[in-house]
Structure 1
């Protein structure tokens, strides 16, 4: 298959640029009101050569933000830009969606307000899928990297002290899964930027549908891994740019530490691979479990799970037939239906509960 270009993470990219010695800046949405196109925490990386990755408004204000970033990279102070439909600048750049947003622009590097060492530590926590958050005081760009421990307490990295007033807001951000603005009792504004690890899609079965589903899911922001012990199928040539695991599926899932940001789909049509995958998935906190197959296949599958000790209540977590009932024919349409159902479940949309199969 032809390789698909996959989106790159703005944080990873801005850190790489800065560490390579390039002037770089990071723009982050720190507040929104109304129907703003991008939520708080959305990012765009910019460097002095004009490279850009990410988005802060879906195209409305990016050119204006790049202009501000160029000033910041040349030694200017960090800036919080405000855009809204009543703003003269907003009309000039085309923000006509009826919303308002504030965007923080700061430089990354030894001369900037964002320390590469701090970002490096933050990215390491995210890669390890440990809950982390970057708290920024917007008046002076003081940054505190916060991790929520397994016990639920807050730990500040780098010896920083966490103000007591921030603890309830930090807990709210972690529990709600959203970046947010926080106002301290003294009126100081903080931005709590949740560095959530990307949602994952673990695809069991390096089959033709997986060749379409993997890059499609990656393009929508999922961290995708394909699992299949059949090494003649799980090859880099068939899955360019996609991580491959060739262990037995249940062993692979145990090693990958499935969390509640993980979706699991099995596409093998082979009970020897499907059944251990589904048992491991049902024992995990995965937010989505799907299995390819007809209603007859699903009935047989549920019977085997019942014999293995999984009652109907637990097995009801499995979406099968997998995907939305859109009349899909062929691998691309089936992949589309699967990804659409995963997104619907992730967003708690009605289609995630009623996919249309009768």
Structure 2
């Protein structure tokens, strides 16, 4: 590995599966295909299991795993790949503890090729997106480069799961707000990098699990946000630093670019960027003031608002029409 932090859930699960397969432990991969009602885990969630009961990951938050493992150990699942439904009626939903009468459909497939798992892990190490497409009827698997597409898609003839680099968050500024944003980012499994060339800020940065760089902001954007799972947040209130980062970030493939400030200051920033030649199509990508409108005033509240908006967009949950953003002056 190159020393950078990768997505722990997918990377750890694939590493475990590869090791179990190399040891001859007959691992199977379980994927959540569809959910109905209130299911604890979303489509695309993964679990890998062995016949001895060992498992990693989760497809239901603990509701059906025990039954699934027992059926795999006993051979009840039959020839793989196979589809399984849990919670098809209220009695079964109650039996397995699925909340609110929930239901989920799973695909169980045998893992037999260590080269496939190595390729997926290498893609994550190399900050590349790779799609794994499986035919749920035959079990045939294809790997292909992935672009800015949904992380998971399920059809009758194919199930596609995209693997790749961790979602990376680059924070411009090592100030008070960045401490809260970075802690929440780590909790949500972001690879958090903090950029601040100001010695008086950089020397006092102490958030375990993050990386501090003292590059100029434009250099940090170029070095650390080279893929579509990048987040860039300008949090210094200093135009000399924030605008420098935004110029490059708005022209990049970054998924989300945001900046703090009052509505007035954000409009002044947009005008400065226009004067520097940033086209309107790029300015439309700028989230400023950054975050959802939850009435935030304190740094912890503003951090929650910022991560909530990013999470909503990652989950393709568009904000309600007519909503105004928070003002983080």
- Please confirm whether the aligned pair reaches a TM-score higher than 0.5, indicating the same fold: yes
CA offsets 1:70-129 (integer angstroms, 9 cap, x no match):
568xxx96764321232865442122544432323456xxxxx34333112112223434
Give the distance between the partners of 1:138 and 1:50, measured in 2 at CA.
24
Q: Which residue matches 2:85?
A: 82
- Between the two proteins, the alignment pairs up a number of residues equal to 316
CA offsets 1:310-331 (integer angstroms, 9 cap, x no match):
3566434322222223232322
Distance 1:77 1:334, change over 3 A: same
Q: Which residue matches 1:191?
A: 159
User: Is 1:65 matched with 2:68?
Assistant: yes
Equivalent positions of 1:48-59 (< 5 A) are 53-59=56-62
User: Is 1:276 matched with 2:244?
Assistant: yes
Give the distance between the partners of 2:227 and 2:142, measured in 1 at CA.
26
User: Is 1:209 matched with 2:177?
Assistant: yes
Q: Which residue matches 2:3?
A: none
Given candidates 148, 152, 172, the residue that maps to 1:178 is 152
Q: Which residue matches 2:319?
A: 350
Give the distance between the partners of 2:67 and 2:266, measured in 1 at CA.
53
**Is contact 2:32–2:59 with CA below 8 Å preserved after alignment?**
no
Q: Which residue matches 1:103?
A: 106
Give the distance between the partners of 2:35 and 2:224, measured in 1 at CA.
38
Cα displacement (A) at 1:231: 5.9
Equivalent positions of 1:110-189 (< 5 A) are 113-139=111-137, 141-148=139-146, 175-183=149-157
Give the distance between the partners of 1:103 and 1:116, measured in 2 at CA.
23
Given candidates 269, 282, 292, the residue that maps to 2:260 is 292
Q: Which residue matches 1:155?
A: none
Distance 1:269 1:175, change over 3 A: closer
Cα displacement (A) at 1:292: 1.5
Q: Which residue matches 1:29?
A: 31
User: Is 1:337 matched with 2:309?
Assistant: no
Gap regions ≥5 residues in structure 1: 1-5, 108-112, 151-173, 184-189
| TM-score, normalising length: structure 2 | 0.78
| TM-score, normalising length: structure 1 | 0.72
Give the distance between the partners of 2:204 and 2:71, measured in 1 at CA.
41
Give the distance between the partners of 1:319 and 1:205, measured in 2 at CA.
17
Q: Which residue matches 1:13?
A: 13
RMSD of aligned residue pairs (Cα, Å): 3.7
